[in-house]
Amino acid sequence: MARPQAQATPFYHFYRLVALAAAPLLWRRVSRKLAAEGIPPERQRERLGHASQARPTGTLLWFHAASVGESVSVLALVQRLLEMRPNAHALITSGTAASAKVLAARLPARCLHQFAPLDAAGPVRRFFEHWHPDAGVLVESELWPQMIVTARKRGIPLALLNARLSKGSLRNWGRFGDTFRYLTDQFCMIRTQDRATWDGLLALGANPETTAQGPNLKAMILPPPVNDADLTRMRAAFPGPLWTAVSTHEGEEAQILDAHLAARKMLPGLRLILVPRHPTRADAIVKLISDRSLSFARRTQGATPGTAEVYLADTLGETGLWYALAPLVFLGGSFGKAGGHTPYEPAFFATPVLHGPHVANFAESYAQFDAAGAALKVADAAALTQAVAQLLQDPDRIMQMGAAAQTISQSQSQAMTQVAEALLSALALPLCAPPTSV
């Protein structure tokens, strides 16, 4: 016997009123930010629900993700679903300029991108009136209440994939348990990326019949693109010992540069490609490099690597190039509070991974990589120094680690097909909960 459908709560109605009042202020803030990042006005208005492209004819599958990592994580699933439904199209929505720029170069055929509408009545209404998606898939923690409830009111079946909520988020939602249950009851299918989130959702009242722990989408991503001509040029430009630090965050570059300086004393001629997660921070990173009297070149300024000790790759969408080029990578976000970034992208290129201790976003993945000898945890800059110097002088171990990483990566293909089949089945269920009243 199906459990009773949760009803809209006073807090949900309060949220709608607050969102309505706050929408003009939010619009001013997000439009200024998008403009500062080079997004033209007609695309900025997508955040108000004004589409900048026509709706494709036929079936439209809608996927919503927050930013770069979440958007990229869903691309392999989108591609597999479109292969299984050759007459369908896909729409991916996200909220950041960085995600739009990265997706522009990586969207599969029959797939387009728009910025997500603000979670207020007008933008959400305009979005659905234009796009009329046949089904919706939300990724990770994108629980925007009006977007969710309005979709179900319009009869759009929804799934929540790769759900991940931190302990703090779960604790905060616990204060509004009835509202949380109301929102999660809108989904025909919920799959979490880890056991902790699964346990947390069930404790807050998510339906156990539709909620399960599923494979991590970030383990099933498509390989990032590589420009072969650029790769050939870069290989010629870096003939000696080389390592990369990718997706670094504020506070990490100083430690990485210190480790690089120390490692150069053990490995003369060592060079570093530094790839910040947010290229807009490049000027601040240049100062850190200069303060250490290291020579450098910047990719956005058209500079060739030359003999620069540090090559600052302050661009978006080129991580595949750096993974393919260097024999060893340190993945950022793991020395600070960011929670780490996916080890599966470098695994496509058989590139071993070094990482710090803070990888909560991918705790289970890193545990698997570490156990298989495909990755190595380093506690701090001193440990990073030793790992870089030792591994780059041990090509056999580098090769073994890379092969282990590639084996893990290749094991995900069958799991992706299973996820796609389960998703199509769930979204087509005739017993999917009916639209709720608001």
Active-site amino acid positions: 70
Q: Is 203 exposed, middle or buried (0-12, 13-18, 19+ CB in 10 A)?
A: exposed
Bridge partners (DSSP) listed for residue 163: 192
Amino acid code (one letter) for 115: F
DSSP 159-172: EEEEE---HHHHHH
Task: For residues 328 and 407, give the distance between their C-alpha atoms in angstroms, rounded to a whole number.
Answer: 17
Report which secondary-structure segment, H or E, holds 330. Answer: strand 329-331
Q: Which two tokens stand for residue 190?
A: 């919920």
**CA dihedral sign, ordered 426, 429, 433, 438:** positive
Buried b (16+ CB within 10 A) or exposed e, 82-107: beebeebbbbbbbbbbbbbbbbeebb
Residues constituting the chain: 438
Q: Is 424 exposed, middle or buried (0-12, 13-18, 19+ CB in 10 A)?
A: middle
Q: Is 58 exposed, middle or buried (0-12, 13-18, 19+ CB in 10 A)?
A: exposed
- At residue 90, φ and ψ (nearest 5 deg) are -130, 145
**CA dihedral sign, ordered 49, 51, 54, 55:** negative
Nearest Cα neighbor of 270 from 246, 293, 245, 239 is 239
Convert 233-291 into a string of H (helix), E (strand) and C (coil).
HHHHHCCCCEEEEEEECCCCHHHHHHHHHHHHHHCCCCEEEEEECCHHHHHHHHHHHHH
- Which letter does DSSP use for residue 395 in this model? H
